[in-house]
Structure 1
């Protein structure tokens, strides 16, 4: 018996196999081209209380008290705007993304954090660190954005 559609079915199966192989190759290329997502580094022993919040134009102003318990840390993060901080109690160890110490802030110190700069705050002391922080952020921005550990041993 002669099958008039046999050649068409054969060509269709070949095209489907080629399509499957092409799809598989494209998926592999995309998987290799997209960098792996780095894990955020959540804080530990940190609490915050917002005292006041106000929006003026396109800027949010948030006054917040941040407490870091002994041995606690903020986790690696950055802010979309600038921060102004006053150390009410304790000593804050502040490290930048190059793993270097970029500040050791004791009670009474005032410091700023520029926007979009990855850093971590740690309490290496035996008493809580208490910070009074003014966040100056673009309207609707979170207080901070998580960032992966840039490779620092702490």
Structure 2
């Protein structure tokens, strides 16, 4: 009898529980433009600890040869290379790594790094920063590597 009561209670709960909302199709003229897609094996961590944050999304164009100079960001950077090859050198390992189109780069907050396009052609990237509110996107930094 106990099983019958438990089953009956489950049936009643299921019938009075609100229905799960299903997906709905877009309405009107809706278009999405993918700015970039990339893959990384790096661990990605973003922690805001309940503080206000600002999300920046930028397109970076490096008309080669060109470089960013050494700098840091007060929050994490996640970049997708959309054209060409971008070389990133960061502290403390200082080994430049080439990222071709279709790759993504994750740079934790506060890590000094430089970004270069060493070729004669252009390199493009879509860059996303998650930063503490009211902070500049970039802070110049002394060269961290030879």
TM-score above 0.5, yes or no:
yes
1:127 to 118, 121, 125: 121
The reply to whether residue 137 of structure 1 matches residue 117 of structure 2 is no
Q: Which has the higher strand share?
A: 1
- Tell me the distance in 2 between the aligned counterparts of 1:146 and 1:67: 19
Indicate the residue corresponding to 2:105 in structure 1: 111
Q: Residue 97 of structure 1: CA displacement?
A: 3.1
Q: Which is greater in Rg? A: 1
Unpaired runs of 5+ in structure 2? 1-49
Choose from 143, 146, 149 the match for 2:140: 146
Q: How much has 1:71 moved relative to structure 2?
A: 1.3
Of structures 1 and 2, the one scoring higher in RCO (CA 8 A, sep 6+) is 2
Contact 2:89 2:114 in 1 (8 A): yes
Asked whether the equivalents of residues 94 and 145 of structure 2 are also in contact (C-alpha less than 8 Å), the reply is no
Q: Structure 1 residues 82, 151: closer, same or farther in 2, change over 3 A?
A: closer
Structure with the bigger percentage of helix: 1
TM-score by length of 1: 0.58
Structure 1 stretches of 4+ moved >3 Å: none
Supply the distance in 2 between the matched residues of 1:151 and 1:62 (Cα, whole angstroms): 27
Q: 1:151 to 1:135 in 2, by over 3 A?
A: closer
TM-score, normalised relative to structure 2: 0.61
Residue 86 of structure 2, aligned match among 80, 83, 92:
92
